[in-house]
Amino acid sequence: MTMLSLDTTKRYTYADYLTWMDDFRRELYDGFVKMMTPAPSRSHQKISVQLLKHLALYLDQKNCEVYHAPSDVRLPIGMNEKDESIFTVVQPDLYVVCDLSKMDEKGCLGAPDLVIEITSPKTARRDLKDKYRIYEQHGVREYWIVNPSDENVITFVLDANGKFQLAGLYAGDDKIPVHIFGGGLQIDLTEVFV
């Protein structure tokens, strides 16, 4: 199936998604196709590598793992985990999973513990509105939005009522505490925006 033959007004499942054998990257938001932007910028890639490095070093010999795009995160509603019943599939820039039973050869099935999106002018609305809502709805415990152009990071933490609360806005030489680790890891922004 090519992009030209996809009906963007139709609702698809992860089972449909698996049949799309082309070079286009896309996500599903409640069953509706969202095309991914072209390859990320150089600054986006550098930031991603720095964050990945810090997370991977911290997680060495721990029971959590970090992954980077492209990697499918399937977000089922309730306990219905069959491919034909999953309508939301995203590819976060980075994510951390501490319940490794969620991981399989297709990626992650269920909410990661931490999701990091590195935004751009073309993806800002999706990251700040659409993905914020998706990650909150599906129970992602912590969500970061990294803004390369302004060199800042906004972090949100899921509260006991299942709603994101602003945890902090970081810039300059701030150190960002990773809340899912109880502050055991703090990432120095001077080592991220290099």
Please state the pTM of the whole predicted model: 0.93
Question: Mean pLDDT across the stretch 62-74?
Answer: 96
Q: With contact defined as beta carbons under 8 Å apart, do 54 and 38 qualify?
A: no
Pairing state between β 107-109 and 103-104: antiparallel
Q: Determine the topology of domain 40-191 in CATH.
A: tt1808, chain A (3.90.1570)
For residue 26, pLDDT over 70 is answered with: yes
User: How many whole angstroms separate alpha carbon 172 and alpha carbon 175?
Assistant: 9
Summarised one tens digit per residue, pLDDT across range 72-99 is: 999 999 887 899 999 999 999 999 999 9
Question: Mean pLDDT across the stretch 122-151?
Answer: 95
What is the Cα 24 distance to its own chain's centre? 18
- The three-class DSSP label of residue 135 is helix
In the chain, what percentage of residues exceed pLDDT 90?
A: 81
